Chain A
Amino acid sequence: MKAPALRLPAVIADRASVAFLASLAVVALVAPLLNLAVPESSPLHLSSYAVGLIGKYLSYALLALAVDFIWGYCGILSLGHAAFFALGGYAMGMYLMRQIGTRGVYGHPVLPDFMVFLNWEELPWFWYGFDQFWFALVMVALAPGALAFVFGWLAFRSRVTGVYLSIITQALTYALMLAFFRNDMGFGGNNGFTDFKDLLGFDLQSDATRSALLAATAVALGGAYWTCRAVLASRAGRVLRAIRDAESRTRFLGYRVQDYKLWVFVLSAVLAGVAGALYVPQVGIINPSEFEPINSIEVVIWVAVGGRGTLWGAAAGAVLVNYAKTWFTGALPDVWLYALGAMFVGVTLFLPRGLAGLLPVRSRDA
């Protein structure tokens, strides 16, 4: 059976990748269709709430993908990836805040509401440029990327590995959380940013915009998946796996381990930032609690539940765990933490390869 019309690039031509990308495409097409084209009376109609929820899950999936990329393939367990996610989210939030313009509570043409409230006279320098969408997009990648570069450069150069690296990434996100809680940082203190109006002129409350954001998130997730696969299929990707399996040996063979780790860490941070930037307009709020150390740990759980070192498993894990969270907190709020805790313990004890390990499909590079 041949499909001569469609030739997928070799790096995503395996069965798992095809299945993953195909289901992404289906979600990206069908969810907006059921929301926009099917009348509300029909049982097939998908509510706007559900569209927002799916979009949120997909941005979480992108974050999980970023974590799995470095944990599953390079052995770097980051417990601070929510920090990169939140930084990307804040960059997008700053753009959205400036788009509010005179529609804020105080109606100031330039200053966001919280600055007027704090009696600030003019915009701080680091807010310049955020009225331009392209600038915000650059910062979405640059802010987390630069932080990851500095942090990773210091950490990998001095060979901080394993548990120690995990602990200082926790400290990193904790320090950022404390910093963003401060009002005089210029990022809205503990209230963060909210009350967004529109993005590129499209109303964020409208169903069409929500559907478009969902589709954009799905495309970003697919693109990120492809990028990661491409990196892993290259020679560098093989070095990464060598580092994961035997770091010292790789170093003795003459590879500059710290350089490989640094670049893969930065790439992963940028992906996390993009996920955050897609998350914020769909959820409508960003505040410092996104930096909480516990959030980063939860991301690792999504990856572990889905299956570490498969990429698609991580994404699926994020969606599954978050769906379970939504369902539990709605139906049985008291049971949710028990369930989540049991999931952590159960998966580490009984499913070291996650749910992906239960499936017959084999990832080529696991």
Chain B
Amino acid sequence: MDLGILAWGDTGWGDELARGVLTTVAIASAAYLVGAALGTLLAAMKLSGTPAMNVPAAVYTTTMRGIPEMLVIYLVFFGGGALSSWIASSVLGIHDRVDLPSFAVGVVCIALSVAAYACEVIRGAVLAVPGGQIEAAEAVGMTRSQRNRLVVAPQAFRMALPGMTNVWQFALKDTALVSIIGVTEVMRTASIGSDATKQPFTFYFAALVIFIVIAYLSQRLFVRLQASADRGVRWGS
């Protein structure tokens, strides 16, 4: 195994891999944030108690959790591209093939999946806020939105964190899937390097180390967040 091949600059693949790391982290972070926001919205719909809201949300989460991630990516990227081309030619009269931006599609696809899982985590966390906490808010005359903002949200946040840490790990690993639509994140960079140098072990092992390091560092961030959310609420924190 020749590690010189992973050097920085023109002779090695170090800078290419570093760019891949940035892309991976960027996709995962953007998808996670968008997905968490969408998941919160879905959770609110599910908790609303009105069929017009919770039925669409339930259909969405059941569907998204039931189909392979790769199918979503193919459907949005190729299916969406073909659909866009068709619309462009039949409606706008432009007959060029339309290619969707692969980075954006990658973010959207992972976000769609993150949203489905985050929805269930957040819904569970909201339901885990003890009824007495909410009654106490009602008893001082808080409005529904004050109660949600001041009492339910901070407590649900704390309880959602372990599950949301899990969802983050999923999002991070899912970035490898968007290599199939040509996003040069860690996985695709390793694959290109492996093909070019005929050293698959070096490159895929490097990718493995990279994923472990990202996972470890982000894990530490979540542990800190949890500790600050647990402050005063749990002993030993």
Say if A and B assemble together.
no
Interface residues, chain B, with chain A CB atoms under 8 Å away: none
Interface residues, chain A, with chain B CB atoms under 8 Å away: none
